[in-house]
Amino acid sequence: MSNATLDANKALVLAHCDAVTNRHDPDAIRAQLAPDFFDHASGRKMSADAVIAHSAQLHQAFADLSVVAECLVAERDIVAGRFVWRGRHREEWRGIAATGRHVEFRGMTFWRIHDGRITERWAEIDFAGLEKQLTE
């Protein structure tokens, strides 16, 4: 695979993270995801509308939600990244009432790209660490 393709794949992942987390941009999300997108973290195929709804829920629970890639690596059709999310807990999340606390949590995500669209995602997010910040 050429360096240009690997760079394009990384740019797609960064644009997708921006669309889902930083801007909540439904049109961009629809353009970025393949129709048969499968999210291994949730164990199911997800439509763009399901991803958009998930993004909306996160933005509802966390004000000023943002994500930054700390590291991004591309090889063949996979892009892997280490990310940090930040926001302020303003509404209930996973049964935890709003705390108003600013939070920061990390995770690692792998994305599969085919024909310029995201087809699969694997994610390991430190939700236990996030819950600890909200309950202690």
Q: According to CATH, what is the number of the domain 3-84+108-125?
A: 3.10.450.50
Whether the per-residue pLDDT at 87 is higher than 80: the answer is yes
Whether the per-residue pLDDT at 1 is higher than 80: the answer is no
Report domain extents, the chain.
Answer: 3-84+108-125
Whether the per-residue pLDDT at 74 is higher than 80: the answer is yes
Q: Are 101 and 129 spatial neighbours (Cβ–Cβ below 8 Å)? A: no
**What residue type is 3 in one-letter code?**
N
2-22 pLDDT per residue, tens: 899 999 999 999 999 999 999
pLDDT score recorded for residue 52: 97
pLDDT score recorded for residue 76: 96
53-65 pLDDT per residue, tens: 999 999 999 999 9
For 87-110, the three-class secondary structure string (H helix, E strand, C coil) is: EEECCCECCECCCCCEEEEEEEEE
Q: Distance between the two ends of the chain, CA-based, in angstroms? A: 47
- pTM, whole model, 2 decimals? 0.93
Which residue shows structure tokens 């995500």?
109
Q: What are phi and psi of 32, to 5 degrees?
A: -85, -30
